Every structure is written in C-alpha cells, then in structure tokens.
A and B are shown apart, each in its own frame.
Chain A
Amino acid sequence: MSAADLPVSAQRYLLAQLTNQRHMLCLHVLNGVGTVVSGDPAHFGFAVADDGSVVTSDLGLGVVDNRHGLQLSHVQLGDGACFDLHQLIEDERRLWVLVDVSDSRDEIRQAQQRSNDARLRLDELSERERLLHAEHQALRESSDQLRRHQHMQAEFVRRLSHEFGTPISAVLGHLNLMDAPGTTVDQAQRSLTAVRRGVAHLRQLVESVLDQARLQNNQFELHPAVTNLAEMIDDFRELYLGSSLQRGIAWRVSLEAHGCTAVLIDELRLRQILLNLIGNAFKFTNQGQVALKVRWHDALLSAEVSDSGPGMSETEQARLFSDYGRSSQSVRGTGLGLSISREIAQRIGGNLRLLESAPGQGSRFLLEVPAPIVHGAPEDQPAELVAQRVLVVDDDDDLRPLLVAILEQLGCSATAVARMDEIALDQNPPPDVAVVDMHLGQLDGSVILQQLRVSWPDCYLLALSADSSQDVLERSRRAGADSFLLKPVEPGALSLALQVAAQRSEGNA
C-alpha cells in the first residue's frame, strides 16, 4: 500500500511527521510555482525566488500531469540531491512530497554500472568475433584460390612435360636413326627434316613458356618501330601458301589501309599474335577457307582472322582465353597461345577478342591495336583538309616554321607556338587539330595534351616525337592523344593524319 491510497487526512498526518526532516521537502504547487510547506528546496536543486517561492517549472512536470498518486523515482534536478517524488491532489491543490534517495541511487548505480559494463564488454567481444570471422572467411577464400591455382599449375606442368616429351622423343629417335649403321642418305635427309621440325616446335614451346613468365613478372618489353604494312601482309601470304595448297584450304589475305603504308608498332609482337591466330585457324580447319583481313583506319590497325573450322561451343569459348584453357580438339600447343596473345594485345594498348563462333560455323577473331601512321598519303586529295585550323606546339625553332609551311601547303590554316603559356585556350572556335611535341624542353608534352583534351574536347590531338618507345606512346595515349606522329614528319603521313581528323570531326558533327 502506498501513501497515496490512504485517506487524505491520514496522508496529512504522516506528512506532518515526516517533513520535519531535512531530507524531505513538501511543496504546495500552483501554476509552476511552489510554496514550501516544510524542508529545504535548494537541497533538491530548486531555484528559490526572493519572496521564498520555488520555481517548480524547472522540473518540467508542470501543467500536463495532474494524476493524484503520481510517483517518479530517482529524479535529480541539476546538481541537487536525488529524490523520489510523490504527487497528491486535493481540492485542485497539488502537493509534492520529495524524499531524498541519494543513498539508494548510488547503490543502484553501482549495480547497474556493473551490468552495463558487462554488456558493453560483451558487445565488444561479439564485434571482435565478427571481425575475426570475416578475416577467417577471407583467409579461407584466398587459400581456396591458392589451391585452385596450384592445381592449375600442376595440370600445366603435366601438360608441358607431355608437350615437350613428344618432340623430344621424336628428335632423339630420328638422331638415333641417322646414327644407325645402314641408314641411307634419303632416310637421313628425311630424319633431318623431322629433327628440324621437332626443334622448331620445341623452340616455339620454350618461347611461349618464357613469354608467359615475362608477362607475369612484368619483364615484358615492347619495341615499337616503323612497320611496313604491305610487306608484313605479303609475308603472311607467303608463309601459309604452302600449307593452304597442301591441304586444299583457300587462303585469302587482304589489306585495306586508306593510303597508309607504314605504322609505328612492335612488329615482332604483332606478328606473334597474328601467327598464333592464323596458325590455330589452319590447325583446326580441314576444309573451306582461312582468311586474314587487315585494315588501317583512324590510327587503328584491325586484323580479322576467320576460318571455316569446327567452331566452338559457348563453354569452349568461355575457357578460350584462360591460361590453361586449350580447346579440346587442339592438336598441339601449350594452351598459352591465346591468353598470351590477348595479354600482349592489351599491353600494346589494344584488344583481342572472339567476334563469333558456333559449332560447325567456324570462328572469327578480331585484333585491334593502336597504330600511328608513319608513312602514307591520302589516296585521293581530300577536299575537307582545306580550311582545317591547326595549332602546332613545338619548341624546335626550325621545325615550327617547317610544319606550318607543310600544313599551309596542304590547305590548312596553321599557327605555331613554342610554349604552353602561349596557347590561347579561350579561342573560339578552338582549332580542329593540335600537333603537340612530347618533349618541350623541361616540360612533358603529355601535360599539354591533357590540358587541351579538357579545354577542347573535340580537337584532334596529334602527339609528336622522335622517340618511338612504348613508354612515350603510352604516355601520349593516356594524356588523351588521338594519334602519334614520328619525327621527322613525313608530309604524306601528316596529311593522312589530318584526313583522319577531318573525317572524325565530320562524324562528330
């Protein structure tokens, strides 16, 4: 039974007994103002006005709650003592009785704090467990990955020993044969041919394993150089003429270069990729045709290799470019060929992909690599060159006027500057083409290229350098150059590059 359940007269009596102590306060409350019946309001944190009235509105209980018997336990007002509050209502009058419970509050607090601390530690532990669990999961995944990788490598080594074993035993066998008494000259000749073939095959195997290792260890170097397109295509035509005749397969080779005759590219690597693609096409094709279609356009060299071979299912296609995913009907090869080819294509800044293939429908591969023009001339004098506005940025005092002269001869209007700060970035309209030297004294030309790429998004940017290293090519590409011109600049190549630019801007317009 609480005090509130007693008759009001009994409550009054009890109050009178209790409130004689300092640890109790009894107030009459009206409109947020209290009148002290007994006790010390300041002890409980109340503000007391000059006239002795108590500011009970500070408690925030005010007007709203006028239930008779309302109890609030463990209330602390400001820095005052902790109290339990009892509210009694009688004849519209509100009576508050406050009892100091600081001692019990401190005891409760200690217990509560222990329990709260325990729960906080528990939370912390479960958080740590969560982190550990996530870490564990990640570790397990990477160990799974490692195991898969190890498995693939073991499989690779197993295949390699098989691949190497076949030609090695053939070579050894034929060598023994040649050594044997009674071997005829004819026989020895045939064995010699077989030994040559075997060694060539071994060399190819060794090369591809080495390439694979170089690619993985970043020791793979590229050496772009001036490459004659027609010569390279003719070589390929010759190279496979024999096997195409022998096997009754049509071998079609075509080149469409829009007047470009030589480009800047790592010819060795380009040949390696094409050899791989064409070699595969011949390997798998038993009738019909194999075709190589090379096209140069807009500073891009694309080579399409197609065959009328057995084609590939989607599953085979999915495994095609993985390191060890040799297609099942493969006759020879380490299965590294295609994945290496693609990797090389990407290093050159290009791409290699399967265009289409289906069982019984043959296959079509497409290689695309950037190939800046070095030699060439437009096939027909392009009218659109006239009135192209060209900016030349080059710090070479001899080359600048020369370039301007060539450009004007080609029908362009040209301006030339030697430094970056001489470029009027706000000119409107901006030039159609900018020719930018990659080595301007201390300044790296790619800084200018980047700036121009941002300021003049539609301007065709031609990087210019006597240095044809992959590094310079790469930097110019990354800085936003559309193409690259090798010094000394050949007028034919320049005019072809300008034609590409004009066609490009027509396409944009």
Chain B
Amino acid sequence: MLGDFAVGKTSLVNRFVNNAFSERYLSTVGVKIDTKPVQLPNRQLKLVLWDLAGSEPLNGAAKSYLVGTHGIVLVADGTRPQTLDAAMRIHEHAETLIGARPTVVLINKADLESQWRTTPADLHNARQWALNAWETSALTGAHVEDAFLTLAGAMP
C-alpha cells in the first residue's frame, strides 16, 4: 500500500480485510501487515498486505520494506489533488528501488462528493499506465474489492 499519509491506505485494508471502517485517524508507524485469503476463478491465494506509513520521500529504510513486493496498491485522496501527484512521485521512486510491479490506482474518499477535486481525466490518465484505476471509498466500500481482486489476479 503506497501513497501520501491520510489518504486512506489503512482504512482500505481495514475495509477489505475486516469489512470495517473507522472515522478516527490513527497514523501508521512503520508497517502494518495483514493477510486475506482470496478466491480467484481458477485459484486460491493468500494476499499479504503491507500497509506502509505514508511518508514522502521514501526514506532510506524504505527499500527493506519494499523488497519482496509482488504488486502495488497506489492510493490518493480525491479531495486533495496534491496527493495524486505525491502518489506518482512515490510510485516512481518505488520503481527505481525494486523495479516495475503490477499496480492498481485508487483515488479514495469517493463518498465525499462535495469536496471532490480530482477529475475523470485523472482516472483516465492512471488507466493509461496502471492495471486499472478506480474512485474508491473505504467508508462505503465502493470498488475496494474490485481493486484488490484485480491486483490479486495479476499476482504470479
């Protein structure tokens, strides 16, 4: 899980793994690891999700956290467009550290319609290079499963 802080990485994992959501912001320190078995059409898979503290630039220890990564869930906050730029920078940096990995892009907090600031073009642009992109909500659960299952399907 990569992205700027407070974009909803921890909340997305919590929605996907525990089907739960909390309003309260508890910033992540280091890495929080969760597992979730997923059933794909032709196989069963256990996803191990590394929810990293969103810090930018990725610090020196980052490489240790990133080694072993099979896929990336890149998260931004649709109410703060600058987090989308941050996500792009973080992703680029991660690629220089560990090489290209299958990536899905989540523009999160889609339930906050009145504060929404990113555009359909942002989604479209992300779809040009990533596996796919969605406007998600950890609060309502919208497109959360879609995103994780799509990434799982691209796992070796």
Among A60, A72, A112, A123, which residue has its beta carbon within 8 angstroms of that of B53?
A: A112
Asked if A65 is an interface residue, CB under 8 A from chain B, the answer is: yes
Bound together, the chains give a CA A71 to CA B31 distance in angstroms of 13
Query: C-beta contact mask, A98-131 vs B, less than 8 Å → 1, else 0?
Result: 0000000100110011001101100100010000
User: A73's contact among B26, B34, B46, B61, by CB below 8 Å, is which?
Assistant: B61
From known contacts A112-B27, A116-B5, infer whether A62 and B33 are also in contact, taking CB-CB under 8 Å: no
Residues of B near A73 (CB, < 8 A) are 30, 61
B50→A70 contact, CB < 8 A? no
Nearest Cβ on chain A to B119's Cβ, whole angstroms: 16
Task: Please name all residues of chain A whose beta carbon is closer than 8 Å to the beta carbon of B29 when the two chains form the complex.
Answer: 74, 82, 105, 108-109, 112
Say which residue of B25, B32, B34, B67 sits within 8 Å of A65 (CB atoms).
Answer: B67
Question: Is residue B6 contacting chain A, with contact meaning CB distance below 8 A?
Answer: yes
B82→A72 contact, CB < 8 A: no
Q: Mark B110-132, 1 if CB is under 8 A from A, else 0.
A: 00000000000000000000000
Q: How far is the CA of A113 from the CA of B5 in the complex (A)?
A: 10
Complex alpha-carbon distance, A61 and B66, angstroms:
10
Known interface pairs A58-B48, A109-B26; A64-B33 also in contact (CB < 8 Å): no
In the complex, chain A residues whose CB is within 8 Å of the CB of B65: 72
For the complex, is A59 an interface residue (Cβ under 8 Å from B)?
Answer: yes
- Assess the A116–B6 pair: CB atoms within 8 A: yes
Q: A60-B33, A60-B50, A64-B67 are in contact. Are A120 and B26 (CB under 8 A)?
A: no
Which residues of chain A in 42-94 are interfacial with respect to chain B, using CB atoms and an 8 Å cutoff? 57-62, 64-65, 70-78, 82
A82 to B53, CA, bound (A): 14
- Expressed in whole angstroms, the Cα–Cα distance for A65 and B69 within the complex equals 10
Q: Are B68 and A76 in touch, CB under 8 angstroms?
A: no
Interface string of B6-33 (1 = CB under 8 A from A): 1000000000000000000111011111
Chain B interface residue count, CB cutoff 8 Å, equals: 23
Contacts of B48 in A (CB 8 A): 57-60
Q: Judge whether B31 and A72 touch: CB under 8 Å.
A: yes
Residues of chain A within 8 A of B31, CB atoms compared: 72, 74-76
Which residue of the partner chain, among B27, B33, B53, B80, contacts A77 with CB atoms under 8 Å?
A: B33
What CA separation (Å) do A58 and B34 show in the bound complex?
A: 8
Cβ 8 A contact of A62, one of B32, B61, B68: B68
Q: Assess whether B64 is interfacial by the CB under 8 Å rule.
A: yes
| Complex CA–CA separation, A73 to B67 (angstroms) | 14
B155 CB to closest chain A CB (Å) equals 12
Contact present for B27 and A59 (CB under 8 Å): no
User: B30: which of A64, A76, A123 is its contact (CB, 8 Å)?
Assistant: A76
On chain A, the residues within 8 Å of B25 by CB distance are 113, 116-117
Residues of chain A from 260 to 303 with CB closer than 8 A to chain B in the complex: none
Given contacts A64-B67, A65-B68, A116-B6, are A75 and B33 in contact (CB under 8 A)?
yes
Q: Which residue of B26, B34, B61 has the most chain A CB atoms within 10 A of its CB atom?
A: B34
Chain A 120-156 per-residue mask, 1 if CB under 8 angstroms from chain B, else 0: 1001000100000000000000000000000000000
Query: What 9 A-B pairs come out closest when comparing CB atoms?
Result: A74-B30, A60-B48, A64-B68, A113-B27, A76-B32, A65-B67, A109-B29, A74-B29, A77-B33
Name 16 A/B residue pairs within 8 A (Cβ), A-sorted.
Answer: A57-B46, A57-B48, A58-B35, A60-B68, A65-B67, A65-B68, A71-B61, A72-B31, A73-B30, A82-B30, A108-B29, A112-B53, A113-B25, A113-B26, A116-B5, A116-B27
Interface residues, chain B, with chain A CB atoms under 8 Å away: 5-6, 25-27, 29-35, 46, 48, 50, 53, 61, 64-65, 67-68, 80, 82
Question: Could you list 18 further interchain pairs (A-B, Cβ under 8 angstroms) beyond the known A72-B31, A74-B31, A109-B27?
Answer: A57-B46, A58-B35, A59-B33, A61-B68, A71-B64, A72-B30, A72-B61, A74-B30, A75-B30, A75-B31, A78-B35, A109-B26, A112-B53, A113-B26, A116-B6, A116-B25, A123-B80, A123-B82
